[in-house]
Chain A
Amino acid sequence: MRWHKRLLVAGVTSVLALTASACAGGQVRGGGGTPQPQPSGSQPATTQTNDSTFVYVPNLDVVTDWDPATSYSNEIIALSNIYEGLTRYNSETRKAEPRLATEWTSANDGKEWTFKLRPGVKFHSGATMDAEAAKKAIERTIEKKGGAAYIWDAVDTIEAVDASTLKFTLKYATPLDLVASSGYAAYIYDVDAVDPDGKTTAGTGPYTIDSWQKGKETELTLKAFDGYWGGWRPEQYKKVAFRVTPEITTAWQLLQNGEVNFVQRLNPQLFQQAGTTAKVQTAQVPSFQNLLVLFNTASGPTKDERVRQALQAAIDYDGLIAALKGSATKASGLVPQGLLGHATGMEPKQDLAKAQELLADAGYGPDLPELKLSLTYAQGDEDQKLLVTLLSSTLKKLNVTLQAKPMTWNAQWDLGKKQGQDIFVMYWYPDYPDAYSWFVNVFKSAEKPQFNLSYLKNAGIDAAIDALPQLTATDQLKADMAYQDLQKKIIQEQAAVAVPYVQTYQRALTDDIQGYVDNPAYPNVVFFYDLKRAS
Chain B
Amino acid sequence: MARRIPLSPQAQAVLAAMPSRRTVLRGALAGGAFAVAGGALAACGTKGTNGNTAGPSAGPLCTVADLSATERKVAFSNWPAYMDEDEKNAEVHPTLVAFKAKTGIDVSYTADINDNNEFYGKIRSQLAACQPIDRDIVVFTDWMAATFIRNGFAAKFNPDKVATFAKNLAPTLRSRQFDPNMEYAAPWQSGLTGIGVNTGVTKEVRTVDELLTRPDLKGKVTCLTEMRDTMGFMLMSNGKDPGNFTTADFDAALEKLKAAVASGQIRRFTGNDYVQDLAKGDIAACIAWSGDVIQLGFENDKIKLVTPDEGMMLWSDNMLIPITSPHAANAMALIDYYYDPKVAAELAAFVNYVCPVAGAQEEMVKIDPDLAQNPLIFPNAEMQAKIKIFKPLTEAEEKEYTGKFQAAIGA
- A interacts with B: no
